[in-house]
Structure formats: C-alpha cells, structure tokens
Amino acid sequence: MKRDANIGGSVELLYVLMYETLVGSGLTRCSQELKSVISRRIQRIKEVEHAMQDEGRGIKAMKEADDGMKKIQIPRYARINTLKWTADEAMKTLETEKWKILGTLKPENFAEMVTKMKDDEVYVDPHVENLIIFAPNIQNFYEYWMVEQRYLILQDKASCLPAFLLNPRPGSQVFDTCAAPGMKTSHAAAIMENQGKVWAMDRAADRVATMKQLLDASKVAIASSFCGDFLKTDVTDKKFSKVKFAIVDPPCSGSGIVKRMDEITGGNAEKERLEKLKNLQAMILKHALKLPGLKRAVYSTCSVHEEENEQVVDEVLLDTYVRQNYVLKKNVLPEWTYRGLKTYEVGEHCLRANPKVTLTNGFFVAVFERVKSSE
C-alpha cells in the first residue's frame, strides 16, 4: 500500500489515513486521491482489524484500554504569526472576541492547569515565545478566521522547539535542510523579523509547491524555497557562505505523531527500517555541519525511538570533523525537565517530548554549536 502513487511512499501519511478511517473522524476532508488509497483496500483492512480484534489487539481493545485510564488530551497550540501582527494585537483581538486570557502558565503546574481548560480560555505558553494554548476540543477551530488567514499558525509545541532554540538573529541566514511543509521555516522567519534569508530545501517537488503556498500565506518574505536533495548539495557553494544557522529535521518514522497507531503498526519500530533512517539522519546532520560558516544547528525528529535520536547524536559526535568543530550545547532550556535517555551520555543535554509528560506530540531535539563560536 505504501507504494501507492497517491501517497508518494509516505508511510507516515498512510498511518494517518488508517488512523482517521479506523479511529478518527473519517476522511471527509481528504481529496479523492487520498480517499482512494483506503477505499480500494477497505475490505482487506477490515479483515485484518477483525482478526486482530479476535486476538485482543483491535480498535475496540484500544478504546477499552483508553476508557480504563485517564485519557491524555493534547491542547491546541497556536503560534502567533508575528509577521502579520504583534503579540499584543493578537491578545487584544482575542479578548474582543470573548476569549478569556488567563496569562502565562507556570512550568511546574502546566499539565494540571491545561487539563482543566474550558473551551473559551487561552493561556500563554511558559516555554516558547509567542505560543498560546487553547483547549483540545474546540469545534471547527481550523475554520476560525485567525487560523484560516494564518494570523495564528496551528503548530504542536514540540515542533516549535527547533526554530525557537536555534534563535537566529534578524539579518542572518538559515538553511532548513528538509523543510517542507515549511512550519519551521516560517517560525525561523518570524524570529528573524523577515530580515535575512532562509534557504528552504526539500526533495519532493509537490511538497515544495505546498510549502511555497504556506509561506506566502504566512507573509514570509525571506525564504528561498527550492527542490533538491540536501545530501547532493555542495554546502561549500559561495551562495551558502553566510549561512550561520541550520535546521535539520530529517525524514523519520513519525512515531511521535502516530503514537496511538502502535497497536496496529507494531510500533512502527521495524529494526531494519529504523537502522536505515538512522543512517540517513546521521548523514544529513553531518553534511549540514560542514556548512563553512555554520555556528549553530538544531537536530530534531518527531520520533520516540532512540535509534533516531540519541543514537544519531552519539554517532555524529564520533565523526572526526564534527568532534573537532562542534559540541553538543549543554543546559538547553533548563526549565524543560523531560530530557533524553539517561542510558546515553548525551541524554541530559537533549530534550524529549512525550504526550503523557509534556502534553505534546513525541519529539526529540539536540543543539550543536561550533567550538569557540562568537556571534
């Protein structure tokens, strides 16, 4: 099924379609091409699901397990698009539209307060600048004018961490190596106040086209979006000589996003596939770190697997060039207490996100800095 041309080989997209069909709200909002991926195989999907149900591993069993424990509800995170208005303008407008602004949450009671939110309440996030929090079950929130017109950009909190921690200064240059659909590109541009340049590359032409539309709608004026294979890119090309910052968010298993499909997909943790992803991720990160003027890079995945996270960081730091020129930044976002796995020396210097702990998608972030860099 993953070879179906309509999904372009994207296993993550396939899992999302299956999830929405079997567990979620259906495929009414999807294109006919995406619907056909499932509809042409729906009988076989149901047969497999029924067989799994007989073994106690089907959808019904999953839902019963959910009912037997406190259900985790991730709130809706919205990044104020400061390329269209200021944070003050956003908050004042929300108030005029009868939202109750409750101020900035404290990290220590974050989960407790978020789980008690009412549908008309809004909090300011304590970790990521210009990020606000809405209740999880607001109806038709995608149709709200602030969201439709991209004054507010719906983006999971964990996904905001890479650009936030990269913190590129206005006027600088950034290379987003695997950029589509452009959420991190637009976030970096906002942090840079639309001053400087963001090179936004992706291998898939259709995804680049979608990214350009998203960036235009978000009023990003400094992105150079183009299709290409980053591993085949000459990072020593003169046009990249001023790049000081890089976002490396490479293809991954997506296990942090599709967490609740684990019972059906086997955890999306096939060792052979994870090993291939790990190798690809390490190659992309090492290639990015060879940008001659680079001073800081953020590596991130929406994966929960150590193969794609701590193991990649470990492997890259063993590279002679990397070891001579970069260090893993320590004490990153100290108020974020959920760190990498303690079984790795690098673990305490990395950030992890987990639905049960951080009320976000599963995620991983590590920050590399050039030795003795000075900005």
- Active-site residues, by number, are 302
Separation between Cα atoms, residue 328 and residue 347, nearest integer Å:
10
Question: At what angle are helices 11-22 and 32-39 packed, to 10 degrees?
Answer: 70
- Per the CB < 8 A criterion, the answer to whether 364 and 255 are in contact is no
* Chain position carrying tokens 């999953």: 62
* Chain position carrying tokens 């193969």: 307
* Chain position carrying tokens 């235009």: 216
Cα-to-chain-centroid distance, residue 35: 25
Token duo for residue 316:
């890259």
* E-state strands within 6-118: 76-80, 100-104
Separation between Cα atoms, residue 345 and residue 236, nearest integer Å:
32
Dihedral (CA of 137, 138, 144, 146) sign: negative
Token duo for residue 33:
């091409």
Which candidate, 146, 130, 56, places its Cα nearest to that of 94?
146
Separation between Cα atoms, residue 8 and residue 2, nearest integer Å:
8
Q: In whole angstroms, how large is the CA radius of gyration of the chain?
A: 21
> What are the φ/ψ torsions at residue 331 (nearest 5 degrees)?
55, 40
* E-state strands within the chain: 76-80, 100-104, 121-124, 131-134, 152-154, 173-176, 197-202, 223-227, 243-248, 296-301, 326-328, 351-353, 363-370
Token duo for residue 165:
């921690």
Q: Is 353 helix (H, G, I), strand (E, B) or coil?
A: strand
